[in-house]
Structure 1
Amino acid sequence: MPSPPSVDGSESPLSFDEADAMSLLMSDIAEQLRQSKLSGAKTSQMLKLLAQVSSHVAKLTDENRRLSMKLIKVMEESKSLVSPSEAVPAGGVQPPDDGVVPARNKNVILLGPRLGEDERGSPITEQSYKDVLTRMNRRLDSNEDPIKIRGVWRTKFGVAYDLQNRAQSARLRSLAEEEGLFFKMGSKLNPEVSIRLPDGSTEGATIDSVGETLRRYNADIIGEDGSGLKVRRVAGKNVYVELSPVAYRNMTRQGGGLFFTNSFLRCRDYVYIRQCFNCGEVHNSRIPYCEPGGSPKCTGCGRDGHLLRNCPNRDIPRSERSCLVCGIQGHSCLSKECPKLAALIAAKEKLVDRGGASLPRMSQ
């Protein structure tokens, strides 16, 4: 009988037949020791050691058998999810190592289940992922004209398909629509910029009022209908604006800023990572995304029992602040010094399509 496969893919150190043969060999050695002319104490000591070795070999063999059966079960379950439709052909493009879809790739489609308002922002379950994959595989297998897929991989919210060209992407999108799935082109993530309002303009400033003023004075940049601009957040003087790739490119060509009444406001690139007000983690602040259990954590000092807006430790030195994202002391979870947050920003940066233009980068 050949050796069963081990968990890491290498040959098993001991097959079942080899283990049986070793057990017989040890029994023979034990019998020879009993018949030898060694002293009784020496023979007893060697027999005791031999019994320990035999017991250890038996345990290893049993563990190897259990792991082999578990591996076979996992392989069978995985095989049921794989169809010719999702296999990556020889020479095809494999999924990126970090699971991030490059913005330059115009032929990647992200598919997932349609979620309710209270479900958005949370990763889908393993069962939901399998359901999306199974439904799309069924559609692809029954399609008379095969769709050429270069790669398939899992994402936080569903499945990413890398197609050969735009025509193939359009066909897969139609199948997803027929299945009632949520879909999004992998390259469509609009850039955001930050601007600072001039003195005297912050009183009563809201998302609607600032957006209306920006659209009125920048029609040549964002389009007459104003669809190329959307104000995302207003925080005092700081305003965060989402632009379409075309509007962003037009803005960089006209001085790198936006007009606001009688002022020209310089824009800086901004990549937004949503962080929870209650605990600092990277998720939505609302239930069910965050349930602090009555003990909020401050995103400023990192201590329990209060929020940033009423933090009593605003003046403590940086060395005494604790990060709620990476757990390292010496910076807050809102700081660009957090390595985990910096990695998330860099990953999201790959998704942004700025139309080939660029501006000076603003730190989070």
Structure 2
Amino acid sequence: MKKNNTTIYDIAEALKISASTVSRALRNHSDISEAVTEKVIKMAKKMNYKANITAQNLKERKTKVIGVIIPEILHHFNMSVLNGIEEVAFRKGFHLLIAKTNESYQREIMHTDSLVGQVDGLLVCLSQETKKFDHFKAFKQHEIPLVFFERVAEKVAGHKVIMNDEATAFAQTEHLIKSGYKRIAIITGGDHLGVCRNRILGYLQALDKYNIDKDDDLIITSGMSYQEGRIGFQKVMSLKEKPDAIFATSDQITMAIYSEAKRMGLNLGSNFGLAAFSCDPLLALLEPSVTGLGQKGFEMGTMAAQMCIKEIEDNNKFKPRTETLSNELIIRKSSQRIELGKNNKVDPNQYLGQKAVDDSLIYIY
């Protein structure tokens, strides 16, 4: 009896039956009697038999692996998305193969090329450099399910899971206006990315609603990273007419602005407003705390994984879907120039689902 690498042939020899009978018994095939199945399972346990999952998957032309391409893993939102993906994958018996682009288009191409044929499906959040999408053609040619999340390739056939970026950006900008800020800047990435373009659009719609003229100097598309956020902040603060509030559109931009504002001695909330398109729980721990969004990363991850695995299980019957998640605006001290009270110009009744959370207010749009 072998101590390791026991095969179905070893079990067959021990029981004096055929290997095909052992194989079917281990799969609980209806052709095999309960008595024989019980003997096979008992012997398999005795001989410490472990099924060769890789061989089984190759026979079925499945890897039971889902690829995930993501810009970076360091920050809270992306970690939450990955947690959501992993939870669904684990329950469905899939493994994850995760690749990080570090916001590089060339790395995205390299990772995409290497995953063709290695995974049953691919989940992608585009790098901020990505403007062309030819590297995804191989997945469609091989009928490998493709799901984009957050930053999506709008013209590529595939499932998509996105945030309601335009409406959320409108709500955050409107909140800053109603809190008494008059000159609001937005710092974001390039408008070739749908998320950035839609957040700018929501920002502009809020300005238009309150008859505030658009000022191109206050629309900064420097990039989504911490360093690019610092550059964007320094650019708007060097203007002759400086902004009195900023709408930051990523975790890293937010932290860069917060750090730079504190370094300059600006009093967040009282004389300088900050609202963030960010769900990082760290925002609630800062002093002053920073207005941000609710937690939707895990939900986005679970939804993307479910869409991918459903297509795999349906033998790649492709019916492209786009799922849009709404979000919550969590108002904290950094955007409250006007104190909440009897003379507050912000009418809480216009917001749906208002509830108190410590020193914050949540308005659900």
Q: Which has the higher helix share?
A: 2
The higher radius of gyration belongs to 1
TM-score in terms of structure 1 length: 0.28
TM-score in terms of structure 2 length: 0.28
Q: Which has the higher contact order (CA 8 A, sep 6+)?
A: 2
